[in-house]
Amino acid sequence: MQNSNPLASHFRQPAIYLKLPSNGKYWAENSLNLSANGEVGVMPMTAKDEIMLRTPDALMNGQGVISVIESCVPQILNAWSAPTIDVDAILIAIRIATYGDKMDMESKCPGCGTESRHQLNLGNVLMYIKSPNYNETFEIEGLTFKFKPQNYLQSNKNNIIDFEEQKLMQVIADDSIDVETRKATFDVHLQNIVNVSNTLLANSTESITIENEMIVTNREHIQEFYANANNKIIKSVQKILGDFADQIKMKPARVMCESCEKEYNVGITFDYGNFFDPLS
């Protein structure tokens, strides 16, 4: 029999406990083990985790973020299914568990132009991350829509496609390429934009109830509907999802300029590659 490791009692333990903004809803079956009080324990990162978050390819395809989440939050069995409303909260909690709740941030005063360095309290940021009310329904053109958050896998695929689309736009703008090639590239680009948009709408739609009160939840049927719906419906749905996205956004931090002593807002954005730098 293998002897137990006498150092086991010194292995990392949960440093903080997090209540997910989603309250555990919208996760795929068997992807999350919530405790009885609805919290997950969050442990500090290992050296391997830190290396993973400094690997560009792992960050680009999302695997780096997934590996770190599953390493630091063992109750999460499949982080790809994490609703996007939970991902930022989980990563902030991992940062707090690893380096503490203070994070330095830089800003430039819009009044006098002085560049300053401030400390952001991530614990306060975490407290204000809330989920929109996805139980609300919306009437559009005689149809009743109910929405849901995308999961991290769907969101990451969209980000990769967006990156590829940016490269295509560079090709289109290149005057050294002949007109026919640029037109063909533009046609592909336009179709990809339409496909990505319809996929985003379908992934964010839980159900559509039609006139005879039939509730449609089949994702392929919903995506086909968006591909053939009139533009008024599409714009209405996009506005609702945009409002949801605004509710999820981090509230700006209020800081004071060291030189002119004027207060101003600083937007909070997280670049995962730099966010987990202990010196930031």
| Same structural domain, 167 and 243 | yes
Please state the domain count of the chain: 2
Contacts of 70 (CB under 8 A, 6+ apart): 76, 77, 78, 79
**pLDDT, tens digit (0-9, with 9 covering 90-100), for 88-137:** 899 999 999 999 998 888 888 998 999 988 888 899 888 888 899 999 99
| Same structural domain, 50 and 93 | yes
User: Which residue intervals of 5-148 are DSSP H helices?
Assistant: 47-52, 56-60, 63-72, 84-99, 122-127
Q: What is the DSSP letter of 278?
A: T
| Same structural domain, 73 and 144 | no
Residue 280 to residue 276: CA distance in whole angstroms: 8
**pLDDT, tens digit (0-9, with 9 covering 90-100), for 129-181:** 889 999 999 999 999 999 999 999 888 777 666 666 676 677 667 777 777 87
What pTM does this model have? 0.81
Q: Tell me the residue range of the domain where 119 lies.
A: 8-129+250-275
Residue 210 to residue 57: CA distance in whole angstroms: 44
Q: Which of 251, 269, 249, 267 is nearest to 132 (CA)?
A: 249
Residue 254 to residue 249: CA distance in whole angstroms: 15
Q: Which of 125, 60, 96 is nearest to 267 (CA)?
A: 125
What's the mean per-residue pLDDT of the chain?
86
| Same structural domain, 196 and 111 | no
| Same structural domain, 93 and 40 | yes
| Same structural domain, 106 and 181 | no
pLDDT of residue 174: 72
| Same structural domain, 157 and 218 | yes
| Same structural domain, 163 and 180 | yes
Strand 115-121 with 102-108, pairing: antiparallel
